[in-house]
Structure 1
Amino acid sequence: MPLYEIETNAHIMIGWAENEEQARSTAHEHYPDDDIVRINRRPRDLWVISKGLLGFPQNEVLCNTARDCLSKAQGDKEDAIRLYMQETGVDQQAAQRAIETNMSLGW
């Protein structure tokens, strides 16, 4: 079954459908108030998002460091950011990105 990307005025959905009409119907079923802007059949059966584009640290050690800082700070984001800055020497913006990324992953 093909994978479709369905963009509405408020959402982007990715899902399997037999054809474009079924993809359109599924979008209207779940978000009846949305207007469909675009529907594309994906060329492969995978949806891929670059981790770099999302701000994931490229070095796995940094991920582990961020998770350790979150644990030490007992989930307090600001404290974890300060700890991360101290341990890695990065600026506040890079530390915030690393901590928030790992928080979204459920550290």
Structure 2
Amino acid sequence: MPLFEIETDSHIIITWADDELAARQVVQEAYATDQILRLTRRPRDTWVISKGVLGLSPKMDICSVARDCLAKSAGDKLHAIRLYMHETGSDLEKARKVIESNMVMGW
């Protein structure tokens, strides 16, 4: 059974399906309000996410950097985001996600 990668306006779905029509039905059943932007049949039966593409470098522990920024900012989220952007070169959206994720984990 082929593996399909389906990108919608809100999700990226990886699923096995008999054909493209069946893959579309998976999206319709699970996320009826999503619009399919891209549907790709994968060339193999596995799916790999490159850490480099996601901005995760094996040289840098992003959680440690984020917790350090939160400590330096005394828990001030906005200041921690600015520090994280400065220290890692990340954009605002990535820095916000990393800092907020670490705040939830109880830095």
**The TM-score by the shorter chain falls in which range?**
0.5 to 0.7
Aligned residues with identical type, % of pairs: 44
Residues 43-72 of structure 1 deviation map (CA, whole Å, 9 limit, x = unaligned)? 234433333333335532565233222244
**Unaligned runs of at least 5 residues, structure 2:** 103-107
Alpha-carbon distance in 2 for matches of 1:82, 1:6: 34
The structure that is helix-richer by fraction is 1
CA RMSD of aligned residues (A): 3.5
In 2 relative to 1, CA 96–57 (structure 1 residues): closer, same or farther, beyond 3 Å?
farther
The structure with more radius of gyration: 1
Give the CA deviation at 1:93: 7.8
TM-score for the superposition, normalised by structure 1: 0.57
Give the CA deviation at 1:40: 1.7
**Unaligned runs of at least 5 residues, structure 1:** 86-90
In 2 relative to 1, CA 96–77 (structure 1 residues): closer, same or farther, beyond 3 Å?
farther
